[in-house]
Amino acid sequence: MTTNTQHGPEPEPAAAPPDPDAEPAVPGGWSALVYGRTLQVDQWWRALPAGVDRQGPVADAVRAAVAGGNRLEAGPRFLLHRDARGVLVGAACELGRISRTMVHDRFGRPLYGFVGWYRAAAPDAADPRIPELAELTAHLADWAGPVYTEWIAPTWEAVGREEAEPRTTRPVPAPWHGAAAPSPTAAVWLPAHSTGTHLLPESDAAALWSAAAGARDRCLLATGWRRRSDAEAHRFTHLTSTDCRAYELLRPPPPPPRPAPPRPVPVVGPGPAGGPTGSDGATGGIGGTGGTGGTEGPGDPEPSLAETFRAGRRALRRMTRGLFGSEESGTAEPPSSPGPPKPPGAGGRRYGDDPVTGRRYYGDLDEASAGPAQPPVRPAQPDGARPASTGPASTVPRPTGPTGPAAPGRRAEATPFRRTRAVDPQQADLSGMFGEFDEPGPPPPAAPPAAPPAGTPPAAPSDPQRARSEAPGPGPTDDSATGEPS
């Protein structure tokens, strides 16, 4: 079954001239309607009754029953359409069911189509007899086959769209002759619902068809659906489907939401941050009307994301130029506080050696950038006084003590001492737990005995017993109250 078909409305060309060899019109007759494509041209209308166009309700009913050939290989679908203009009876099927020729395209794929009969309404004519569903099922190939062959043959070999235009048909006697067949058990007629579609099981198709043929009401009935999802239910008034088990009223799908109107893109001018005032009184800027800034009024359109990004980028560039413009241009800005201006390049920091203490420090370049480091001028000090240190000396007190003689050629060094970490007053009571905070330093080394002066006789060895005998005894004591000896 072919699928490369055109199911939308086709352009309406000028009406084809009547065929002089065609049969004369029969009052109250039925006109043939054939829907199917040719061998090489993808154009589907082959025969149309007079007064029926390809954009009208009759053509829409045919396309709705065909449904793009979906699942027509499983069996035909029968259509009964009635409105104030006329009645249409026919079937959509694979064309191989009703004919042996002209049923494949040039690629060998089977074709599908629709063959039906249309009768225009006449005010003084009697109601036409509509065949029952059982008659159409039994005589589909006998009635539809000759009609298809007659109206497909003239355009089957067409090679252009102009040659494949449909032919206009005239009313002729219906193929169903004689009295009507006995109708099945009459079903209760369900008038067309204004906001829904009547869906019934396929077993009720014959009774529903008979009720629709005798009711003379507006209807668009299609039977033989294998699945309800194959049909666009909102285009019909009555449906029968194999997968339906009980009656249902199918509501039409909700209408799609209306698309939002396009948002107008605001025109942002290339003016400065403090641009001219716009028509709404807002100062030009981001979102304003006069420049790239300002306050957006209640009726102004919301700026797009791209415009907002570009405006923010321009504002950032202006701010960057205001902050770093002096450094980029090489000009010095006026100082923010009174005082002499700094020399060019001042204000940095570097490592250096303190000229007094010789320690390494990290400080400003304000003094060093002006020229080479010069030793500071020391104020005059009294004899024997040491100048106060100006470097970052340690604030930890150094223990003092006697120092021994320095070795020849070496400077006397201070007694080594141990640094201790400062203890928070709130943690002073934890010194017993962390003894490292208050550990006493090592005792200083004992000073060596001084050498006696030259010419002094050496001292005699001391006698302990003699020392005890020569020691003075206890003398008189003084009364602590009177101060006299007791």
**pLDDT higher than threshold 50 for residue 203:** yes
Let me know the angle formed at the C-alpha of 27 by 26 and 29, rounded to the nearest 5 degrees. 65
Report the pLDDT value the prediction gives residue 454, as an integer from 0 to 100: 63
Q: Model confidence over 275-317: pLDDT tens digits?
A: 444 444 444 444 444 444 444 445 556 678 888 888 988 888 8
- Average the pLDDT over 82-88 and give the result: 94
Q: Using CA atoms, how far apart are residues 442 and 440, in angstroms rounded to an integer?
A: 7
Helix (H) or strand (E) holding 327: helix 305-329
128 — pLDDT class (breaks 50, 70, 90): confident
Reduced to 3 states (helix: H, G, I; strand: E, B; else coil), residue 37 is coil
Report the pLDDT value the prediction gives residue 183, as an integer from 0 to 100: 59
- Average the pLDDT over 420-447 and give the result: 59
Report the pLDDT value the prediction gives residue 125, as an integer from 0 to 100: 74
**Helix and strand totals (H; E) in the chain:** 6, 14
Report the pLDDT value the prediction gives residue 48, as an integer from 0 to 100: 96
Q: Using CA atoms, how far apart are residues 102 and 41, in angstroms rounded to an integer?
A: 13
- Average the pLDDT over 449-454 and give the result: 64
Q: Using CA atoms, how far apart are residues 147 and 31, in angstroms rounded to an integer?
A: 10
Q: How many CB atoms lie within 10 A of CB 474?
A: 5
Report the pLDDT value the prediction gives residue 8, as an integer from 0 to 100: 44
Report the pLDDT value the prediction gives residue 150, as an integer from 0 to 100: 95
**pLDDT higher than threshold 80 for residue 394:** no
Higher pLDDT, 64 or 385: 64
Report the pLDDT value the prediction gives residue 453, as an integer from 0 to 100: 62
Is beta strand 31-35 parallel, antiparallel or unpaired with respect to 167-169?
unpaired
Q: Using CA atoms, how far apart are residues 212 and 89, in angstroms rounded to an integer?
A: 12
Q: Are 212 and 221 in contact (CB under 8 A)?
A: yes
Q: Model confidence over 153-180: pLDDT tens digits?
A: 999 999 988 899 999 999 999 999 765 5
Q: Model confidence over 89-112: pLDDT tens digits?
A: 999 999 999 999 999 988 899 999
Q: Are 54 and 9 in contact (CB under 8 A)?
A: yes
Reduced to 3 states (helix: H, G, I; strand: E, B; else coil), residue 209 is helix
Report the pLDDT value the prediction gives residue 414, as an integer from 0 to 100: 53
C-alpha 185: how far from chain center: 60
Report the pLDDT value the prediction gives residue 332, as an integer from 0 to 100: 47
Higher pLDDT, 246 or 427: 246
Contact partners, residue 307, CB within 8 Å, separation at least 6: 265, 266, 268
**pLDDT higher than threshold 80 for residue 353:** no
Average pLDDT of every residue of the chain: 73
Let me know the angle formed at the C-alpha of 335 by 331 and 337, rounded to the nearest 5 degrees. 175
74 — pLDDT class (breaks 50, 70, 90): very high
Q: Model confidence over 129-148: pLDDT tens digits?
A: 899 999 999 999 999 999 99
Q: Are 207 and 134 in contact (CB under 8 A)?
A: no
Q: Model confidence over 367-384: pLDDT tens digits?
A: 444 445 455 555 555 555
Q: Using CA atoms, how far apart are residues 223 and 212, in angstroms rounded to an integer?
A: 12
Place of tokens 């003590």: 401
Q: How far apart, in Å, are the Cα atoms of 139 and each of 2, 29, 46, 144?
A: 25, 19, 22, 8
Q: Model confidence over 326-342: pLDDT tens digits?
A: 444 444 444 444 555 55
Q: Using CA atoms, how far apart are residues 323 and 263, in angstroms rounded to an integer?
A: 37
Reduced to 3 states (helix: H, G, I; strand: E, B; else coil), residue 284 is strand
- Exposed, middle or buried, 128 (CB in 10 Å: 0-12/13-18/19+)? middle
Please state the pTM of the whole predicted model.
0.52
**32-36, 64-68, 190-194, 419-423: segment of lowest average pLDDT:** 419-423
Strand order in the sheet with 219-225: 167-169, 45-49, 31-35, 112-120, 86-94, 77-82, 219-225, 238-241, 197-201, 248-250
